Structure 1
């Protein structure tokens, strides 16, 4: 790397100086600046093999700087730095032109490893681009190239080494707020699902009603992934980061706990909104009665049934997150999310965060909504104990198995598991 040049754009002097020392030792000729405008000018006037750019700088959005760097110096390898990591931000940085993403604080070994991996990825993409160009020339066809989605192997690497690490290093306050939002977003999906299907069954039958319930519920994960939030079931993919030893098992469990409780609070908030807004009165209380019936059905499941339904659910949910990461455009993310989420709801699988909305909503309406339609529903087993023991516990266990084992561990085994050393002859 002795002939390579690097530009570092960051408003923190300590980050600039430390990175300058690290990469000077690696053989780079390093140029630093705290001014994003100057950084863009330097990138326009001179070529840099690698550009490190901070996400948050006074007066500038680092995402826009990255996009502009991609225009002015498309041959450079751009790596995003951020002290406020999230799945949405990592995805957005990659979409804007960054080759990789690293979260503050980082060690010299971590930042050099990310840069080396980004350089290799850039070289790999260039080789693929050359191959495609030669193929086009050879066939004398000149189609307009589309935006490439990421391969499963690239997603596996991103989930394990970037997203999982970013979640562990995010500030606790950020994780809590994003967890609350995720719980609320899933609650919105649940409320919409009940609102559009509460009177459909008698008209179109069970099958189409379940399909429409799933289609409406997909709103929840779309909001989580595209708007940005921390969802416990999606975070089950962090298991791959533990397996690659990028994070520890204890750190993962701590973050799961924070996100799980925050999801619960956000979901209950939407359940209270349903109660206090009076929306349950729709159809002379039929909407409220439908919400209570959903809750009763969920707490009436056997422990084993709920657990297995939880496995199937999060297998599909984590695949939805996985495919959304593959897409480079918002419309692609929407389609990637819609079908798996519609599928798990229509099939009848169980999602622990969704049930943090559905069952408390039924309990609240049972106790405090004054409606003959709700009073007519048999609710003998609709209690907080039944919610926690008969549904939330087994469904949560099942969700961890479905997302962590069948998606996180499976793709780790397929793409990231270290090859065994050959036996000596």
Structure 2
């Protein structure tokens, strides 16, 4: 059997964090660029499938292609890093500065890859910006506006909604990365990571890297969205929500219950309980 038990998965999570932190900034950036582009490709594929069939559910089925590819190639996706990389700090193997620098490089890479693919797609969909958006292009424009000015119209409630959607999203995305560790075979990893990604996309949750593609691409094709709208009403709150959901609901939760017994954070948390 190629099944890996949860306790071994927890150790694999710690090991994965160490591997990520050992990468040079150049590698983090390049792998981040590729991941951002792949998620853009997955998103445009999913939207194409949904438009062709009239069923968003179909788009959710094909969307996980990007995540599966990232997992198999060992690329860098910042939302997965939110759940895994801080574990090295909890283990006392890395400083918070190193963790932060690692995440920043991957974030920048994801952003560049997403925007570059978005520009290339916009060129294709608008015939080098000579025709008005239609079909897929029009749908991307609509989504870009809904993800920004749509939340802005709700005021403070909009910020709460987008933050919570982001938490729920990265709960699933980080769960996908961890589930891929439960198998040692390629097909097992693909199936395991496919399921949670399908869940998040089907329910319209908010993913920071997907939004790095869809919002600026919509802006390039005429969406009534400013840079401030993009960052203040979506990118910043979504990134923060992704951090909370990915780390607390998946990374830290699984680490605390299945961690190696020598983990310092586990001992620290257990001490007050023992005193009681």
Instruction: Name the TM-score, length of structure 1 as normaliser.
Output: 0.57
Q: 2:146 is matched with which residue?
A: 297
Q: 2:97 is matched with which residue?
A: 250
Q: 1:316 is matched with which residue?
A: 172
Are residues 211 and 423 of structure 1, via their aligned partners in 2, closer, same or farther at CA, if it must alter by over 3 Å?
closer
What is the CA-CA distance between 1:279 and the residue it aligns to? 6.8
Decide which of 212, 216, 222 is 1:356's aligned counterpart. Answer: 212
Query: Are 2:33 and 1:177 equivalent residues in the alignment?
Result: no
What is the CA-CA distance between 1:405 and the residue it aligns to? 0.8
Q: 1:388 is matched with which residue?
A: 231
Over residues 274-323 of structure 1, what are the superposed CA-to-partner deviations in whole Å (9 max), with x where a residue is unaligned? 111237899x8212111111111111221111110000000000001101
Decide which of 220, 224, 227 is 2:73's aligned counterpart. Answer: 227
Query: Are 2:249 and 1:400 equivalent residues in the alignment?
Result: no
The total of aligned residue pairs comes to 257
Q: 1:187 is matched with which residue?
A: 40
Q: 2:19 is matched with which residue?
A: 166
Query: Whole-Å Cα distance in 2 between the matches of residues 423 and 394 of structure 1?
Result: 38
Over residues 121-141 of structure 1, what are the superposed CA-to-partner deviations in whole Å (9 max), with x where a residue is unaligned? xxxxxxxxxxxxxxxxxxxxx
Q: Is the 8 A contact 1:189 1:218 kept in 2?
A: yes
Q: Matched residue of 1:246: which SS?
A: coil
Q: Which runs of 5+ in 2 are unaligned?
A: 152-157, 260-264
What is the CA-CA distance between 1:423 and the residue it aligns to? 6.6
Structure with greater proportional helix content: 2
Q: Name whichever of 259-268 and 192-201 sits farther off.
A: 192-201
Q: Is the 8 A contact 1:295 1:359 kept in 2?
A: yes
Q: 2:122 is matched with which residue?
A: 275
What is the CA-CA distance between 1:253 and the residue it aligns to? 0.6
Q: Name whichever of 216-225 and 262-271 sits farther off.
A: 216-225
Q: Is the 8 A contact 1:315 1:406 kept in 2?
A: yes
Q: 1:410 is matched with which residue?
A: 253
Q: 1:3 is matched with which residue?
A: none
Query: Are 2:1 and 1:155 equivalent residues in the alignment?
Result: no
Query: Whole-Å Cα distance in 2 between the matches of residues 402 and 393 of structure 1?
Result: 14
What is the CA-CA distance between 1:268 and the residue it aligns to? 0.3
Q: Is the 8 A contact 2:118 2:214 kept in 1?
A: yes
RMSD: 2.2
The higher-RCO structure (CA 8 Å, 6+ apart) is 2
Query: Whole-Å Cα distance in 1 between the matches of residues 219 and 32 of structure 2?
Result: 23
Q: Matched residue of 1:198: which SS?
A: helix
What is the CA-CA distance between 1:200 and the residue it aligns to? 3.5
Q: Is the 8 A contact 1:164 1:247 kept in 2?
A: no
Q: Matched residue of 2:147: which SS?
A: helix
Q: Is the 8 A contact 2:171 2:250 kept in 1?
A: yes
Q: Is the 8 A contact 2:50 2:57 kept in 1?
A: no
What is the CA-CA distance between 1:418 and the residue it aligns to? 3.2
Deviating 4+ runs (over 6 angstroms):
279-282, 421-424
Q: Is the 8 A contact 1:189 1:219 kept in 2?
A: yes
Q: Is the 8 A contact 1:159 1:241 kept in 2?
A: no
Are residues 200 and 418 of structure 1, via their aligned partners in 2, closer, same or farther at CA, if it must alter by over 3 Å?
same
Instruction: Name the TM-score, length of structure 2 as normaliser.
Output: 0.87
What is the CA-CA distance between 1:358 and the residue it aligns to? 0.6
Structure with greater proportional strand content: 1
What is the CA-CA distance between 1:222 and the residue it aligns to? 1.0
Query: Whole-Å Cα distance in 2 between the matches of residues 211 and 242 of structure 1?
Result: 39
